Structure 1
Amino acid sequence: MPPGLHRLPAKASLSTKSIYYGLGLVGLCSSLFHGLLSYHAHMADDTSMIVATSIVCYRAMTYSETGYHTVKDEQMVHELSFVSLIVVVAIKTRSLIKLRVHNPKDKEMLHRAVIFGAGCFVFGYLLWQLDSIFCAQLTILKRTVGLPWGILLELHGWWHILTAIGVHTFMIMVDRLTRDEVQFASDDSRLFGAKSTKKEE
């Protein structure tokens, strides 16, 4: 048990204990890695450090209702983290396309897919923000028009749908681009457009 836990009050919340559990997780995963020296143990070790650091960062930024919550709002932490991850994935995907794909038609197909996936995220995020800002007005309007047309005004729902489409698009691209041999299946062509059958190393 991490030593910091012994200094906590007996009724300390799970949130309070979590930063020490994160440290314990790092110790466990690090021991597994250095004991087994396997790839999966290595990934567990690296991931545990990210998780533990994220917990500490989150606690440091959101501990006070009169401080950070009042000025920025905890929701912003979640949104900025999510958007940042999307940007990183999009940039890295474009980098992988340049590095691993040499056929011009395949590059064009994948660049269109990046634009499509990112566009889904951006448009969905815009709808989410509009839903948050105009929630009261949209609720009144939905009750006025009734079902089934009111479903079209469920902007938060459309955000989830568009996010799922964007995630699926990038999942396919990253999956194909990080394999030992880069190639595109017929199922991909239905989503990305015309494809080349040439395999890339």
Structure 2
Amino acid sequence: MAPSVSHAHSDPSPPGGFWGPPTSTLDWCEENYFVSVFVAEFWNTVSNLLMILPPIYGAIRTSRDGLETRYVFAFLGLAAVGVGSWSFHMTLQYEMQLLDELPMIYSCCIFVYCLLECFKRENSINYIMITILLGFSVAVTVVYLLWTEPVFHQVMYGVLVFCLVLRSMYVVTWVYPWLRPLCYTSLGVFLLGFILWNVDNLLCDTLRAARLRLPPVIGAVTQFHAWWHIFTGFGSHLHILLSLQTRATYLKRRPRVKFICGVWPMLHAEPRRRS
């Protein structure tokens, strides 16, 4: 994921590897091709596994529970961001950068739709809202392809996140206050990732110098952009669960949270009651 402007830190790593010199408009603090000649940014790449595998399982679980397809798309959208981010950090090629950044807009539009439609009749479709969000996605895509300014992408992504925060706060303040812990945890985890992302940008030269003196394993822990992937992926996953639990509660499906391996939360809803 890359909602950022590029930094101008000097990179002591080789100028190219298996994928050739970077062509992306962004390059991150992790030293290029330092771990493997086949992966430009190793830790920024593999950290995306937690943004790919759990959402895929979530999509399968949601489909099996018979919940609405929009939530399957929400999970798959998050997984698509993870795949795009993996491709971008592995290659640092401009085309892969777009595969990372644009799905962030598209998946957030799905999140917005799901949360705005939580209190409608089952399987209802709001064509007006879909048209608005689709138009927004197309407009952002066209502008960003013509004007390759990362700040523009950052602002558009921020607008969507702001909408999600406002709607989430409405739900847990006025409708289902007992969902506040899940909502606040989601926001807190995302905020922690954002803080670490800023530390990685602002203190890049210091972090790179420290890694030269630290053992490799400890140095890997200082790859804060990789932690951004982990925390924002987890925060986004919790947001989908918040939206799902709100929807399933409204539909009287008695949702409950289960944990994969005692760590990663998933939501299970009871089957529809037949009249």
Per the alignment, residue 183 of structure 1 pairs with: 254
Moved more, 112-121 or 150-159: 112-121
Question: 1:181–1:164: structure 2 CA closer, same or farther, 3 Å change rule?
Answer: same
Matching residue of 1:142: 211
Deviation at 1:185, TM superposition (A): 0.6
Which residue matches 2:236? Answer: 167
* Alignment match, 2:195: 126
**1:75 equivalent in structure 2:** 150
Distance, in Å, in 2 between the alignment partners of 1:76 and 1:118 is 22
Which of 137, 146, 149 is matched with 1:51 structurally? 137
The verdict on how the C-alpha distance between 1:85 and 1:149 changes in structure 2, with shifts beyond 3 A counting, is same
User: What does 1:2-21 align with in structure 2 at a 5 Å threshold?
Assistant: none
SS of residue matched to 1:175: helix
| Bigger Rg, which one | 1
The TM-score, its normalising length taken from structure 1, stands at 0.56
Aligned residues: 138
Residue 166 of structure 2 corresponds to 91
> Is there any run of 5+ residues in structure 2 with no aligned partner, and where?
1-123, 264-275
| 1:57 positional shift | 4.2
2:213 corresponds to which letter in structure 1?
Answer: T
Partners of 1:176 and 1:184 within 8 A in 2: yes
Distance 2:134 2:162 in 1: 23
Aligned CA RMSD, in angstroms, stands at: 3.2
Given the superposition, is the C-alpha separation of residues 123 and 176 from structure 1 closer, same or farther in structure 2, using an over 3 Å criterion? Answer: same
Distance 1:84 1:169 in 2: 19
C-alpha displacement at 1:169, in angstroms? 0.8
2:233 matches 1:158:
no
Whether the aligned pair in 2 keeps the contact of 1:176 and 1:182 (CA below 8 Å) is: no
Structure 1 residues 82 and 41 mapped into 2: Cα distance closer, same or farther (>3 Å)?
closer
| Distance across 2 between alignment mates of 1:117 and 1:143 | 34
Structure 1: gaps of 5 or more residues: 1-37, 64-73, 102-106, 192-201
Tell me the TM-score normalized by structure 2. 0.43
Higher relative contact order, chain-length normalized (CA < 8 Å, sep 6+): 2
Kept after mapping to 2: 8 A contact 1:90/1:114: no
